[in-house]
Structure 1
Amino acid sequence: MLHSPDTFKLSITEKAAEKVKAAIEKQGKSDAALRVYVAGGGCSGFQYGLAFDKQNGDDHVIEAHGVKVLVDDQSAQYVDGSEIDYVESVMGEGFMVNNPNATETCGCGHSFKPK
């Protein structure tokens, strides 16, 4: 593994976890978990992705507030120490990744430039 599972940290707020649980229930995927991943693209070079998925053998797994969060090893290096939140504002609502590894973030909050 590129990133040690013993030191990997990721958190999810209670509000974000409630939104994830509601979406999983709505889709009827009781065995699904939230996958957080990083892909190339976006305004700043990398972008976050969220999807419902099943656990793979090499995933980093975090469980909090009744939600299982999965991160593949490649993405772990970019999101280590991050917090997944759900934000509601006059600009809209959605999931937000608060990432201490980002040197720049796009105004939309979905794209970042890593350290």
Structure 2
Amino acid sequence: MKIIPTDKALFMIKKIAKENNQDLIVRIYTDMIGCKGIRFGIAYDEVLENDEKHQIGDITFVADHRLNEYADEIEIDFVDTPKQGFVFKSYPEYKKSCSGCSGCGIKFLDK
């Protein structure tokens, strides 16, 4: 899996880490798969045994190796809108559907 952060995302990761006295180890994760696709997240963390590591400058991005099942590439950006935060785009995009399974928001990946 390839991780592609924008300059703005890299800047904000460093800024937030400095403000919160965090190491520059950042986990990319997904905690839900539903009709609208995959919801990715980002958190400061530590490197775990089965993690894939991606070094970009002085930031170490880590992700569980199983994330490869859902994305070949993940772009990370930071937006300054009223709902500011990190945004993600994965390639290939995970197929969105609405099968009427009533599973929206409850399909969590095993951790």
TM-score normalized by the length of structure 1 = 0.70
Distance 1:57 1:49 in 2: 20
Q: Which runs of 5+ in 2 are unaligned?
A: 97-104, 106-111
Distance 1:35 1:44 in 2: 22
Q: Which runs of 5+ in 1 are unaligned?
A: 1-7, 105-110
> Does residue 51 in structure 1 map to residue 43 in structure 2?
yes
> Does residue 39 in structure 1 map to residue 57 in structure 2?
no
* 8 A contact 1:10–1:79 mirrored in 2: no
> Does residue 18 in structure 1 map to residue 17 in structure 2?
no
Choose 32-41 or 19-28, whichever is displaced more.
32-41
> Does residue 86 in structure 1 map to residue 78 in structure 2?
yes
* 8 A contact 1:37–1:75 mirrored in 2: yes
CA spacing shift, 1:65–1:14, aligned 2, 3 Å: farther
* Structure with the greater alpha carbon radius of gyration: 2
Q: In structure 1, what residue type is equivalent to 2:39?
A: Q
TM-score normalized by the length of structure 2 = 0.72
* 8 A contact 1:36–1:50 mirrored in 2: yes
Aligned length: 97
CA spacing shift, 1:18–1:44, aligned 2, 3 Å: same
* 8 A contact 1:35–1:51 mirrored in 2: yes
Q: Who is 1:3 aligned against?
A: none
- The CA deviation string for residues 29-82 of structure 1, in whole angstroms up to 9 with x for no partner, is 23x411011122565253212111001122111121431111101223223211
Q: Who is 2:86 aligned against?
A: 95
Percentage of matched positions with identical amino acids: 24
Distance 1:15 1:45 in 2: 24
Q: In structure 1, what residue type is equivalent to 2:88?
A: V
Secondary structure of the equivalent of 1:79?
coil
Query: In angstroms, what is the RMSD of aligned CA positions?
Result: 2.4
> Does residue 66 in structure 1 map to residue 58 in structure 2?
yes
